[in-house]
Structure formats: C-alpha cells, structure tokens
Amino acid sequence: MLSKAICDYRKVSDLELDEACRVERESHERIWQEQHRTPLASHRLSRILSELEVVLPDAATTQLVTSMEEIILEQPPLLVDGAREVLVSLSGGYRLGVISDVGFSPGRVLKQLLADHGLIHLFDSLVFSDEAGVAKPHVEVFERTARSLSAEPQTIVHIGDLERTDIVGAKKAGYRAIRFTGVTAMNEDETTIADFVTDDLTEVPRLVECLD
C-alpha cells in the first residue's frame, strides 16, 4: 500500500522504503518512551516521506493516511482465547474501561474494531492516547479513566501486558495491576511490580476478586 502510493510519484526501492520505515519506527519509539505520547498517523507518514524526500499531493496524502489508519479493519486481529467470555463475566459485576496506546490506528478506528467484535457496549470508559494527548505510563490517562468510571484509583485493577507502560503507569496512579503474559511473555530475567501475573486470561476474574 505505502510503496504503491509513493511510487506513483517517485520510484523508491524496497531497501529505501524499509530504511525510512525503520527510522520512523525508532523515532516513534523514542517519543513514546521519552515523551509519553503517540504521534498521529499523519505525522508518522510525514516522517517517512521526509526520509524518502518525497512530496505527495494533499489529496493523496490524506487518502494514504486514512488507508494506514483503517487497514486494521480489513485484517482485524483475532481475540485472545477467552477474551469475550472474560469481558462478559467481568461486566456483570464491574465497570470496565480501556486505556490504549495507539499505533497507526487512532481511537476512532479502534472503537470501530471493538464494535465489529461486538464488545464496545461492555465498556464504560474508553481512553486512547491520540485522543488524550498522552500515553501510558503518563498518570493522566489513568486519572482520566478513574474520573470516567467515577472510581477511586485504589479500587481499580488494570490488566496489561507491558511493564513499562501498563504496570508501572497503573501503580504510579494508585491502581492495582495484573500483568497478562499470554501474548507478551516476560523475559527470563525480568521482574514485575504487578500484584499478580498470569498467562491465562480466564484466570483474570478470579484474580480481580482476590484484589476486590
């Protein structure tokens, strides 16, 4: 998609494109880690085009940004085993929220993804980094969620897979935390400050009850 759109205006080799994307990814990672924000797809595309010294017409740029944002809807990720059942179970006794750092797809697209999976109605709060202006572990996204849920931080349990963003951020905000390792495994020498660790999502309701 990206290669074809760019090559309509200037011939770019696969090697050049791969290098430009690598530079952009590293830039994105630095901003995410050091500034705790996630640049918009339009900004990320601009960085790639700058590396390639390519200038696209405004209409072509807008169309390409939209395609990059929405491609996840064409190839949606599969739900983790047990995710639907766990969410339905938890929604029966708790208010649920999402705190998500976005990639190319912004909050509006991820909300559509949740709707397509038939899950969006289960959530009382949806906080995405592009809409909040900051990303995990910034305390603001956790405080915003607490306000949305009308809950005190110490009564909230955050379930996440990344120590630096999910677990550290939740703990700094006064939440309890469960680290889910079923998708992103812990390194052999890694430690965690989470209250519980599990690689089985179906264990989450029981662990939440233990923290309740």
203 class by beta-carbon count within 10 Å (0-12 exposed, 13-18 middle, 19+ buried)? middle
CA 170 from chain centre, in angstroms, equals 15
Residue 11 pLDDT > 90: no
pLDDT by residue (tens digit) across 81-136? 999 999 999 999 999 999 999 999 999 999 999 999 999 999 999 999 999 999 99
Q: Measure the CA–CA gap between 114 and 112, rounded to whole angstroms.
A: 5
pLDDT tens for 45-73 read 999 999 999 999 999 999 999 999 999 99
The reported pLDDT for the residue numbered 152 is: 97
| CA distances from residue 198 to 71, 161, 203 in whole angstroms, order as listed | 31, 10, 7
| Percent of the chain topping pLDDT 90 | 92
Residue 4 has a pLDDT of 79
Stated pTM of the model: 0.92
Joined tokens for residue 129: 């980094």
Quick: pLDDT tens for 127-186.
999 999 999 999 999 999 999 999 999 999 999 999 999 999 999 999 999 999 999 999
